[in-house]
Every structure is written in C-alpha cells, then in structure tokens.
C-alpha cells in the first residue's frame, strides 16, 4: 500500500506505525530510502494496513466545492469519487485506485485544503468486530434494514429459511447480503455467494475484499489449476469464509455453511442443461441450505416467475426494496417505433434518436451500454430468388456471417465455412445479407460516431481466459465509452458512469417459440435499463421495436414487476404452463429421423403404461419435432409432460430412463425435469 513512494508519507502515518520515538528514526530511514523497503517487507509478512480517506465537513460546503472544481478539477474528481465510494465517512485508497486514481499527491493537496484527513487503519480481519465498532458500517435505508431484520434471527438460530430480496436494480441488495454474511461469519460459519456469470465475480469479490479482507475466496473455471487447488484448500481448512462463484461452487468443501446467496436468481445460467448432470443450482442450493441449517437468500429485481409464485404461496419470505438507494430514480424508458423510422428512411440498426443520445452521452463524458442479443455481423443470408436462407448443413439453423473471420458460422455446432457464391438451393447468385449482430452494430456506430470508443462483449470476444475481466476493466476505467454486447451486458454490473442503456432488438426475444419468452424479454429490458443511472447522473433508456404498442412494454416502462407477474400468471394458468404446473421434457435425437420419431413414440407408450391409472394426471404434449429439429446432423423429437405435481413426472422420467438404457448409445435420450428451454 505504501509502496507508492516515501514522499507520500505523512508524520501522522509514521507515528501510527512506529510511535512517537520512531518518528526521528523513520525520517532518517525515509531519507536514505530504507523505509520503503521496510514497509514492503512488513507487507509481505501480512501486516495489513490500508490508507483511508476521511471526508471532513468542508465537503458539505457547496461554495468550497465549486471553487475546487474550477481550480483543481482532478482533486475535485477524486473527492467526488471518494464521496460516492465512502462507507460512513471513510473511503479506502485501494478502492479509489480500482477506480483509476493513481496519483497520491492529489490526496495531500486535498488534506492541505481541509477536505479530507488521511488515516492508516488495520485491514479488517474480523468483519463482525468491525460491524460492532461501526467503523465501516454502511448506513442502511429502512427497507434494507427491514429485510435484514427478517434474515438475521434465522442465521443466529442456525435455522433453514428461504428469502427473496425483491429489489429494483440499484436498491442496495449487495449491502444486505454483506451485512447478513458478516453475521454468519461472526458466528464462525461460511457463506456461499453464487452468481449467474463468472464475469460478475471480479467486481463483487473486490467489493467483498473491502469488507472481509483475506477471508474471500473465488471459484470459477477461469482459474488456473493451481489457483483452484489453493482456493479449494482454503475453503476446506476454513480460512476462506465467503466464497464467490457460479453454480459449480455449490460443490466446494464447506464445513459449516451459515448462508447461501443466490444473486440475480432469475438467470437461467443457474440451470445446467448440457452436459449431464442436469441440475438447477437454485434447487440444489435450497437442499444444501436445509442440510446445514443455513439461510438461503435469493435476490433479483425481476425474480423468476416460479420464485415469486413460491413467495406468494408462502413458501419463502419476500422482502421488498422498492427504490434505489440515496433517492436515485429509475431511468425513464423511451420506445422507438422502428416501423416509422424505416418508413422515413432513417438509420438502421441503430435509430436516429438513439444515435443522437449516444452522441450527447459521449460528449458529456458519460458511458452507454447497448444490448444486441445476437452476435456476428449478419445473422442470415437470404436468396432473393427462392426466398430460402443458407442453413448449416448439419443443423436446421441459419448460418451467421462473421466479418472478423470472413466466414459463415453455425452458432449451434460451430461449423464454419466460406461464403458461397451461389444459393445452395437454386443456384441463384442474388444473395442478400440480412439481420444484425453485435459486430455490425459496432461497425455501424463507428462509422457514424467516429469519436466513440467501443468495446464488444459477446461469446466471440470473450473466448480466451481473462478476456471478460479485461473488457469490463477497460470499460470501468473509461478507456471506452460504449459497451455493445449480448445479454452478458445486462447482468448485474455496476458502472457509475453509465447513463444511457439501449436495447436494439427486443422483438427477437419476444418472438422465440417458448412459453417463457415474455418473461425473458421483461427481465432483459428491466435489467438492461437497470445498468443506467446508477451513479450521480440521471440515466435514460431507449428500446427499439417494430411493435411498440405491445402491452408488455407498459409494465416495463413503469418498472411494474407485480403487474407483469399478475398478467403473465393469468396466461400461464390458462395455458397450463409453470409455475402453476410442473413440466418435464423427454428428447430423443438420432442421425436417422425415422428412428428418432419411432423411439419417442415407444417412450410415450412405456411411460403411460408405467403410470397405469395415473396416466391421466399428466398432459402429454407431443411427441413431435423439437423447434430446433436438427442439430449436428441429429434429428430431434420431443415429448413434453405437464402435471399439477412432480410425482408422476418423476415416475415417468424414471421409466424412460430404464427403457433408454436398453437402447445402447443410439438414439440419445435426454431427460430434463423442469427444463428452462424447450427449443
């Protein structure tokens, strides 16, 4: 921490470490350069002290601030960042360094002017002790406190309980998690903090390190084997108290779990669909929590419909955090009618109003996030003579054109090939590039706004280890002002400077042939909107659609989750879909289409027979071709089972499993309880 240079040391700091007598000696050392080495040595031996900035009352004086802004803008910027990151009146220098502030001389100037005092403090080893002396305790808003008051007693008693923190984006769910985690850790227990996506781990773990110091561990697939081994051992030995990771972190060797957190619990990445074992980490977490007598806390601004349904039927406790912290408001949402834009010959795929908003945002030094839920450049190639698109030879899927590689790619089997000169169906050369992916959006904006610095985050740009983190770090540090990406960008990130969120193609999500498509679209819109205006500057949101009159959008623009829930539940009930019912899926895939069709029929008859007189308690949908009828040369047929209870579904899948075992390797049979995709 103090390696930044001995010239940055103040007498008061030296006194804190060495005492009164030490000052003279330390000065000598400082002049000969030995002090820096000494402090570094101590650092290695894990005497962990951190530099903190304490804001004085002068920071409340608008005139003084105004003057500072004019005369010393860099100092003013640092002060502003510190006041945003502070806990109590303290902000750690390491936190500011993460925000990109490196120049410590700014601190000294601010101290001289009376805006701050600088303090060295021991880094927190025991979060509970810290919580009691209140040093770094965040002041909670009443709704946050009310939620904690429900969770803490159960943690203290070591009783299983399930909670949902239903809080709008930016309502301070993380602070509630951390306070509750500190309680569990103070009781000598461990805490598991699950996230839907590993790219969320670095930002969260850094925040957690400020609270819990060395007791933080991370587990995810981007670690080297050695790193993973070490983290695993620290968990096993109990020195890691709070563990961050995706669904697989459930299998870490915990001793005594006191709490499991399921952050952004609506995300379907919690379900492992491929390969086996097919499990939903949300259900597994509940079972694990029950076994340990731990508390399970789920959190989301847009809870999974099934979770909210369980809350409404009394199976879990809902705590509502209805507003953003510090009185910040939710950003207003504006719909852009793409029909009109097209009729008037205005720009596409990024509309004129959105382009203008981007331009303004950049000019103000703020940032924007754009969601385009498809990757590649053009998403299909159409023949103007026969009207067919070029499909992957192995899958019933249109191939996507990637300009970066100059190839056509299948997003289901990764098959790649050169662009054909002619239509493979009719031989015509009248091929037309259609549809838009992330690559084309970046290209389009770069041409129209040459001043924009754009980053792209999708599966193609994040293939290598660490690339996620790198993109996010570059965006956070302001190296770019626009982040374009697939749904990855909608997931729980917290960038204070983002004031504009744009959604380019929500129609594509709404049109998916899946009973959950409205829920997905609602979540995606509200979550993306939630990235905007989290800092001190008000945010705005723009959504492009060819159907702006869609009634779903009315619930989105008022951030009315409960209104959406009631409407969607009525539909699901009427159609007999979950969460009012339970669902299972049996899928058969084979190279021979006839074999797939026959086997799924055999399975249906077998399941019905196994259920005997109870066969009528299940609604059997199909068998029929799956919406994605062929992937990697395999024909896919499926059967969907719907029932009011799980028991007959379990029995059917078990019967299907036993029968499938007699098939050998071919055809493949996939059994999926409560599937998250029916494609």
The CB-of-518 to Zn ion minimum distance in angstroms stands at 28
Q: Does residue 408 belong to the site contacting Zn ion (CB under 5 A)? A: no
Distances (CA, A) of 339 to 146, 546, 547, 596: 47, 5, 8, 42
> Measured from the CB atom, is 223 or 395 closer to Zn ion?
395
Size of the site for Zn ion (CB under 5 A): 14
The CB-of-392 to Zn ion minimum distance in angstroms stands at 3
**Contact pick of 392, 500, 583, 671 for Zn ion (by CB under 5 A):** 392
Q: Does residue 542 belong to the site contacting Zn ion (CB under 5 A)? A: no
The alpha carbon dihedral of 119, 121, 127, 129 has a sign of: negative
Q: Which span (98-106, 218-226, 414-422, 470-478) binds Zn ion, by CB under 5 A?
A: 414-422
Neighbours of 288 (CB within 10 A): 18
The CB-of-386 to Zn ion minimum distance in angstroms stands at 3
> Measured from the CB atom, is 405 or 617 closer to Zn ion?
405
> Measured from the CB atom, is 236 or 416 closer to Zn ion?
416
The CB-of-415 to Zn ion minimum distance in angstroms stands at 5
Q: Which span (7-15, 203-211, 384-392, 559-567) binds Zn ion, by CB under 5 A?
A: 384-392
In terms of DSSP bridges, do strands 668-673 and 582-590 run parallel, antiparallel, or are they unpaired?
Answer: antiparallel
Q: Does residue 394 belong to the site contacting Zn ion (CB under 5 A)? A: yes
Q: Which span (45-53, 380-388, 589-597, 622-630) binds Zn ion, by CB under 5 A?
A: 380-388
Is residue 29 within 8 A of residue 37, CB to CB? The reply is no
Site for Zn ion in 328-347 (CB under 5 A): none
The CB-of-381 to Zn ion minimum distance in angstroms stands at 10
Q: Which span (422-430, 473-481, 504-512, 586-594) binds Zn ion, by CB under 5 A?
A: 422-430
Q: Does residue 398 belong to the site contacting Zn ion (CB under 5 A)? A: no
Q: Does residue 628 belong to the site contacting Zn ion (CB under 5 A)? A: no
Q: Which span (43-51, 271-279, 349-357, 407-415) binds Zn ion, by CB under 5 A?
A: 407-415
| Segment (H or E) for 253 | none
**Contact pick of 423, 454, 483, 526 for Zn ion (by CB under 5 A):** 423
Beta carbons within 8 Å of 306's beta carbon, 6+ residues apart:
578, 579
Beta-strand ranges (E) seen in 353-497 are 367-371, 380-383, 400-402, 407-409, 416-417, 431-434, 454-457, 482-485
Per-residue tokens: 489: 């960008």
The CB-of-383 to Zn ion minimum distance in angstroms stands at 3
Is residue 629 within 8 A of residue 635, CB to CB? The reply is yes
Rounded-to-integer distance, Cα 497 and Cα 368, Å: 8
The CB-of-350 to Zn ion minimum distance in angstroms stands at 29
CA dihedral 467, 468, 473, 475 (to 10 degrees): 110
> Measured from the CB atom, is 337 or 385 closer to Zn ion?
385
Which is nearest to 14 in space by CA: 39, 37, 42?
39
**Contact pick of 237, 428, 619, 645 for Zn ion (by CB under 5 A):** 428
Rounded-to-integer distance, Cα 556 and Cα 549, Å: 12
Rounded-to-integer distance, Cα 485 and Cα 143, Å: 33
> Measured from the CB atom, is 325 or 382 closer to Zn ion?
382
Is residue 127 within 8 A of residue 186, CB to CB? The reply is yes
**Contact pick of 383, 498, 500, 503 for Zn ion (by CB under 5 A):** 383
Query: Max alpha carbon distance in the chain (Å)?
Result: 92
Q: Which span (190-198, 254-262, 376-384, 598-606) binds Zn ion, by CB under 5 A?
A: 376-384
SS3 504: coil
Is residue 228 within 8 A of residue 219, CB to CB? The reply is yes
The CB-of-632 to Zn ion minimum distance in angstroms stands at 6
Q: Does residue 558 belong to the site contacting Zn ion (CB under 5 A)? A: no
SS3 342: helix
Please, which residues bridge with residue 493 across strands?
A: none
The CB-of-390 to Zn ion minimum distance in angstroms stands at 9
Beta-strand ranges (E) seen in 16-160 are 49-55, 90-92, 116-122
The alpha carbon dihedral of 209, 51, 65, 477 has a sign of: negative
The CB-of-431 to Zn ion minimum distance in angstroms stands at 8
Per-residue tokens: 440: 């084309």
Q: Which span (42-50, 113-121, 395-403, 559-567) binds Zn ion, by CB under 5 A?
A: 395-403
> Measured from the CB atom, is 432 or 558 closer to Zn ion?
432
* Intra-chain end-to-end CA distance of the chain, in Å: 52
> Measured from the CB atom, is 346 or 394 closer to Zn ion?
394
The CB-of-513 to Zn ion minimum distance in angstroms stands at 19
At 341, phi and psi to the nearest 5?
A: -55, -45
Which is nearest to 623 in space by CA: 590, 596, 646, 662?
596
Q: Does residue 472 belong to the site contacting Zn ion (CB under 5 A)? A: no
SS3 173: helix
**Contact pick of 410, 471, 483, 543 for Zn ion (by CB under 5 A):** 410
Q: Which span (166-174, 392-400, 589-597, 648-656) binds Zn ion, by CB under 5 A?
A: 392-400
Q: Which span (20-28, 262-270, 412-420, 650-658) binds Zn ion, by CB under 5 A?
A: 412-420
Q: Which span (324-332, 350-358, 375-383, 642-650) binds Zn ion, by CB under 5 A?
A: 375-383
Rounded-to-integer distance, Cα 326 and Cα 174, Å: 15
**Contact pick of 137, 152, 318, 413 for Zn ion (by CB under 5 A):** 413
> Measured from the CB atom, is 416 or 616 closer to Zn ion?
416
Per-residue tokens: 75: 């100092």
The CB-of-487 to Zn ion minimum distance in angstroms stands at 21
Alpha-helical runs (H) found in 539-634: 551-557, 561-575, 593-611
**Contact pick of 386, 446, 647, 658 for Zn ion (by CB under 5 A):** 386
Is residue 482 within 8 A of residue 370, CB to CB? The reply is yes
Rounded-to-integer distance, Cα 314 and Cα 440, Å: 47
Per-residue tokens: 525: 């819109």
The alpha carbon dihedral of 316, 317, 322, 327 has a sign of: negative
Size of the chain, expressed as the number of residues it contains: 679
Contact string (CB under 5 A) for Zn ion, positions 347-366, x = contact: --------------------
**Contact pick of 395, 449, 506, 656 for Zn ion (by CB under 5 A):** 395
| Segment (H or E) for 405 | none
Whose tokens are 């002002």? That residue is 481
Q: Does residue 415 belong to the site contacting Zn ion (CB under 5 A)? A: yes
Q: Does residue 629 belong to the site contacting Zn ion (CB under 5 A)? A: no
Q: Does residue 69 belong to the site contacting Zn ion (CB under 5 A)? A: no
Exposure pattern of 59-97 as b/e (b: 16+ CB <10 Å)? beeeeebeebeeebeebbbbbbbbbebbbebbbbbbbbe
> Measured from the CB atom, is 266 or 375 closer to Zn ion?
375
Per-residue tokens: 505: 């193609």
Q: Does residue 625 belong to the site contacting Zn ion (CB under 5 A)? A: no
The CB-of-596 to Zn ion minimum distance in angstroms stands at 17
> Measured from the CB atom, is 19 or 387 closer to Zn ion?
387
Q: Does residue 425 belong to the site contacting Zn ion (CB under 5 A)? A: yes
The CB-of-634 to Zn ion minimum distance in angstroms stands at 11
Site residues (CB under 5 A) for Zn ion? 383, 385-386, 392, 394-395, 410, 412-413, 415, 423, 425-426, 428
């Amino acid at each position: 921490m103090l390696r930044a240079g001995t010239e940055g040391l103040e007498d008061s700091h030296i006194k804190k470490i060495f005492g009164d007598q030490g000052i003279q000696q330390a000065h000598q050392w400082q002049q000969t350069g030995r002090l820096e080495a000494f402090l570094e040595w101590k650092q290695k031996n894990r005497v962990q002290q951190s530099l903190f900035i304490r804001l004085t009352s002068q920071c409340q004086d608008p005139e003084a601030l105004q003057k500072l802004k004019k005369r010393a803008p860099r100092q003013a910027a640092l002060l502003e960042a510190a006041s945003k990151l502070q806990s109590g009146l303290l902000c750690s220098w390491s936190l500011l360094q993460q925000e990109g502030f490196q120049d410590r001389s700014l601190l000294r100037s601010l101290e001289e002017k009376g805006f701050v005092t600088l303090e060295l403090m021991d880094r927190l080893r025991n979060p509970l002790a810290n919580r009691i002396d209140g040093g770094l305790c965040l002041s909670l808003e009443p709704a946050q406190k009310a939620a904690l008051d429900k969770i803490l007693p159960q943690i203290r008693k070591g009783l299983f309980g399930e909670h949902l923190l239903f809080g709008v984006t930016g309502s301070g769910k993380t602070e509630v998690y951390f306070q509750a985690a500190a309680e569990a850790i103070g009781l000598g227990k461990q805490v598991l903090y699950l996230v839907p996506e590993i790219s969320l781990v670095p930002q969260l773990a850094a925040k957690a390190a400020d609270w819990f110091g060395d007791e933080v561990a991370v587990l995810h697939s981007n670690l080297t084997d050695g790193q993973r081994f070490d983290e695993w051992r620290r968990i096993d030995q109990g020195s890691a108290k709070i563990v961050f990771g995706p669904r697989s972190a459930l299998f870490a060797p915990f001793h005594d779990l006191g709490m499991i957190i399921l952050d952004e619990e609506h995300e379907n990445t919690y379900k492992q669909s491929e390969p086996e074992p097919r499990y939903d980490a949300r259900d597994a977490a509940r079972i694990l929590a029950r076994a340990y007598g731990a508390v399970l806390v789920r959190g989301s601004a847009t809870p999974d419909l099934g979770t909210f349904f369980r809350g409404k039927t009394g199976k879990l406790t809902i705590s509502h955090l209805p507003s953003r912290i510090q009185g910040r408001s939710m950003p207003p949402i504006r719909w852009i009618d793409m029909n009109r834009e097209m009729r008037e010959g205005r720009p596409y795929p990024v509309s004129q109003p959105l382009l203008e908003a981007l331009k303004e945002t950049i000019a103000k030094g703020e940032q924007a996030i754009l969601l385009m839920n498809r990757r590649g450049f053009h998403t299909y190639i159409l023949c103007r003579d026969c009207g067919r698109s070029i499909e992957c030879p192995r899958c019933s899927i249109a191939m996507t054109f990637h300009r970066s590689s100059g190839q056509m790619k299948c997003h289901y089997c990764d098959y790649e090939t050169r662009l054909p000169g002619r239509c493979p169906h009719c031989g015509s050369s009248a091929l037309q590039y259609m549809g838009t992916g992330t690559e084309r959006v970046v290209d389009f904006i770069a041409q129209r706004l040459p001043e924009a610095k754009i980053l792209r985050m999708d599966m193609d740009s994040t293939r290598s280890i660490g690339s996620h983190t790198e993109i996010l770090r570059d965006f956070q540090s302001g190296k770019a002002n626009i982040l374009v990406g697939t749904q990855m960008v909608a997931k729980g990130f917290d960038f204070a400077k983002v004031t504009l969120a744009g959604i380019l193609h929500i129609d594509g999500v709404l049109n998916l042939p899946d009973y959950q498509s409205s829920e997905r679209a609602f979540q995606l819109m509200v979550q993306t909107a939630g990235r905007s205006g989290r800092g001190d500057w008000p945010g705005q949101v723009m959504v492009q659609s060819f159907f702006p009159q869609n009634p779903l959008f009315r619930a989105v623009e008022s951030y009315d989750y409960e209104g959406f829930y009631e409407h969607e539940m009525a539909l699901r009930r009427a159609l007999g879909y979950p969460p009012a019912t339970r669902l299972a899926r049996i899928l058969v895939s084979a190279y021979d289409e006839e074999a797939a069709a026959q086997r799924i029929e055999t399975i249906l008859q077998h399941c019905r027979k196994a259920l005997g007189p109870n066969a009528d308690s299940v609604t059997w949908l199909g068998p029929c071709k799956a919406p994605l009828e062929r992937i990697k040369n395999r024909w896919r047929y499926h059967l969907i089972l719907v029932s009011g209870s799980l028991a007959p579904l379990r029995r059917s899948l078990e019967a299907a499993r036993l029968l499938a075992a007699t098939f050998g390797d071919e055809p493949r049979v996939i059994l999926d309880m409560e599937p998250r995709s029916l494609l």
